Structure 1
């Protein structure tokens, strides 16, 4: 049963003082009518025949007088339930059939459909009440099936697409055109089939990407989990899992961002530079040409050791388990198999669902709990640490950030620095941490910035020994070399685009 509020019934009365009789009705109860539809025929005292029209569209509920009855001014002859126009397709009401285009220049009536629920059909709109009603039904179905909603970004999350020239025989790369003459080349991230098959048992996937939740999630995002390689699109929402960007084609980042539209280096956070600098870079196509097989019909294999989706599936599984553990605890039911499953599902739909953002925040905050971090060389000293990306990531993972290295036997156990995250060796903090290591019972791990980003992407504390700070290596300086390669790729892209345009004109 629809939970949309019904409008109050209207009584249609005789407004002409000369009318004396209702000859016959032309409608039946339950019939939808428009303002231009004739409800019945009236007869005046002079014998003239008139037509009865409704004041607005709606559904006829009841006829109060019969054919041939005598009527006078002010007598109610029928009851009309006004149509709230809760479903509109191209300015036509799907319930009463009224053309609403003329209302565009007037004040919108109550209940006019303004919510676009279907992403692929933008002309279809429903009212806010109808949207909430449909969302409530979907929410109940999710709770009964013990699932969540997963909002999936595509490019650089589960696929990578480029418009650069690549070998046509490149293995596992799909080539297509959206609008000639540009060709797109897409590589699917390794393990995506197993990832979707595993997650589909716990979540419903959606490929829509829209920051305005009220458009397609009228009842809120409390059952939504988002995976995206760009956290700035979602303003770092708590329910967002910032995935490690998948980059198979070197020199191409998000295909939705045109070349040169990236954040300028002067405005970019130093931690973002470290992230990009430490990401795995695939060999250039020119270098791959030397490794091509002799047989022209044999596919060309480029190395791809990305295995991030397997870890991402574990993260989503943990979120799902914790979400429904909280729900079962609030309802006092056992949803894991013990007891009556039907009773548990009914109790779940009646209870207030937990917030997915709270679940994500809790699990994320356990990654580096108990760790005390000091940063060295990750951001300018003039920048307050609280405004840096590194600080926000560390505190979000549950770590405590200290201003300086605190080690030695005189420092309390619960105040000793556990990690020094250094962008390069040779700094004063680096030397103090290394010098104090023999005096500290627990020691201080000195790691490069990739350790922090790997913990952030994988939601687990990674082995510190895998991320040493190599002498004479400036991890932030690596990004400068990468930026120069990107600029050269942008120039080559523009040159190829100009050449393709000239060829199309010829």
Structure 2
């Protein structure tokens, strides 16, 4: 909770009887806003507040209850803006973009506490570090109760191989698709041998996440090929659009696992993007299409054209 700004008190000498609330629990209030309706001698009136913040109502108050002069009916607390969505506070609804100039001069604390993007596919939704740690603790307790750990898996050259060069449509086990309509380039993806069996086996042991440098549309399209029912990964798909750093995947770990990544394993064909982490299982790159390397490699990577197919046995 934020700093207590003060209570809202009944200001009518006659008190009256409570009729109904005009503000929701934890709703945003601003000066001049009605917070409840009450009745005095058959005349209905509205009690207004002169405060700004988040309202916490008197829970015991119900229709017909007698009100007295000076009775506290609502506490108003300062909103800490712990949840932010596209520049708007998720708690009080305030437009935090209005304070951008203040934040630029005084630092992010001047605008709000929200700074951690924990949800893979909604980078615009950020929460406070305190809230992130609490949610991270809950996530850890959940997987441990399920006797699972966390597993981050890469896509390109780890689970699949993709090319945007011409491919004969008669080749078996290749997905052919276009990401942005019929006039966009065609892509062709082959799943690594034994990959489906591997994912099903890992699902029994891990809560699985996709972590790729492929763009969002690409990542979610591939996820549909791997996991048509959404059972294995759900919405836990981190793409290039959500990555904080275009060359390192480690930059997102503190956001995804604010309580630490000691319960997390990683599978990838590249070690450098994870800064050679101890919990990384490094696999040989899977290469099926000739003359095509990793089409989504980070900028510093060197693409090669080896004509080999690595069939790592999962």
Q: Same fold (TM over 0.5)?
A: yes
Q: Is the 8 A contact 1:29 1:62 kept in 2?
A: no
In 1: Cα distance, 2:12 partner to 2:203 partner:
68
In 1: Cα distance, 2:14 partner to 2:101 partner:
36
Q: Is the 8 A contact 1:230 1:242 kept in 2?
A: yes
CA shift digits 1:336-385 (9 cap, x unpaired): xxxxxxxxxxxxxxxxxxxxxxxxxxxxxxxxxxxxxxxxxxxxxxxxxx
Match of 1:94 among 68, 81, 90: 90
In 2: Cα distance, 1:22 partner to 1:168 partner:
83
More contact order relative to length (CA 8 Å, sep ≥ 6): 2
Offset at residue 111 of structure 1 (A) = 5.8
CA shift digits 1:412-438 (9 cap, x unpaired): xxxxxxxxxxxxxxxxxxxxxxxxxxx
- Answer yes or no: is 1:189 the counterpart of 2:192: yes
- Answer yes or no: is 1:105 the counterpart of 2:101: yes
CA shift digits 1:203-262 (9 cap, x unpaired): 11110243221222111111111111111111101111111100111221111138x964
Could you say which residue in structure 2 is the equivalent of 1:69?
69
- Answer yes or no: is 1:158 the counterpart of 2:155: no
Q: What TM-score does the superposition give when structure 1 sets the normalisation length? A: 0.43
Q: Is the 8 A contact 1:57 1:98 kept in 2?
A: no
Q: Is the 8 A contact 2:99 2:111 kept in 1?
A: no
Q: Any residues of structure 2 matched to 1:75-154 within 5 Å, and which?
A: 79-107=75-103, 108=109, 112-154=113-155
Q: Any residues of structure 2 matched to 1:344-355 within 5 Å, and which?
A: none
Q: Is the 8 A contact 1:228 1:241 kept in 2?
A: yes
- Answer yes or no: is 1:241 the counterpart of 2:281: yes
Could you say which residue in structure 2 is the equivalent of 1:359?
none
1:7 to 1:309, Cα distance in 2 relative to 1, 3 A = farther
In 2: Cα distance, 1:68 partner to 1:116 partner:
46
1:21 to 1:148, Cα distance in 2 relative to 1, 3 A = same
Could you say which residue in structure 2 is the equivalent of 1:211?
250
Could you say which residue in structure 2 is the equivalent of 1:9?
4
Could you say which residue in structure 2 is the equivalent of 1:250?
290
CA shift digits 1:436-460 (9 cap, x unpaired): xxxxxxxxxxxxxxxxxxxxxxxxx
Offset at residue 116 of structure 1 (A) = 1.5
Offset at residue 200 of structure 1 (A) = 1.1
Could you say which residue in structure 2 is the equivalent of 1:53?
50
In 2: Cα distance, 1:252 partner to 1:128 partner:
42
**The residue matched to 1:102 in structure 2 has which SS?**
helix
In 2: Cα distance, 1:36 partner to 1:99 partner:
17
**The residue matched to 2:138 in structure 1 has which SS?**
helix
Offset at residue 93 of structure 1 (A) = 3.0
Match of 1:227 among 267, 280, 296: 267
In 2: Cα distance, 1:220 partner to 1:129 partner:
14
Which structure dedicates a bigger proportion of its chain to strand?
2
1:23 to 1:204, Cα distance in 2 relative to 1, 3 A = same
Offset at residue 156 of structure 1 (A) = 0.2
In 1: Cα distance, 2:199 partner to 2:70 partner:
70
Offset at residue 184 of structure 1 (A) = 1.0
In 1: Cα distance, 2:82 partner to 2:14 partner:
33
Q: Is the 8 A contact 1:174 1:185 kept in 2?
A: yes
**The residue matched to 1:170 in structure 2 has which SS?**
coil
In 1: Cα distance, 2:32 partner to 2:122 partner:
30
Offset at residue 62 of structure 1 (A) = 4.7
Could you say which residue in structure 2 is the equivalent of 1:444?
none
Could you say which residue in structure 1 is the equivalent of 2:30?
35
Q: Is the 8 A contact 1:23 1:40 kept in 2?
A: no
Offset at residue 149 of structure 1 (A) = 0.7
In 1: Cα distance, 2:147 partner to 2:73 partner:
52
Q: What TM-score does the superposition give when structure 2 sets the normalisation length? A: 0.67
In 1: Cα distance, 2:13 partner to 2:101 partner:
38
In 1: Cα distance, 2:88 partner to 2:300 partner:
41
Superposition CA RMSD, Å: 3.6
1:36 to 1:162, Cα distance in 2 relative to 1, 3 A = farther
In 2: Cα distance, 1:248 partner to 1:220 partner:
36
Offset at residue 114 of structure 1 (A) = 1.7
Q: Is the 8 A contact 1:176 1:183 kept in 2?
A: yes
Q: Is the 8 A contact 1:84 1:110 kept in 2?
A: no
In 2: Cα distance, 1:141 partner to 1:172 partner:
36
In 1: Cα distance, 2:87 partner to 2:15 partner:
35
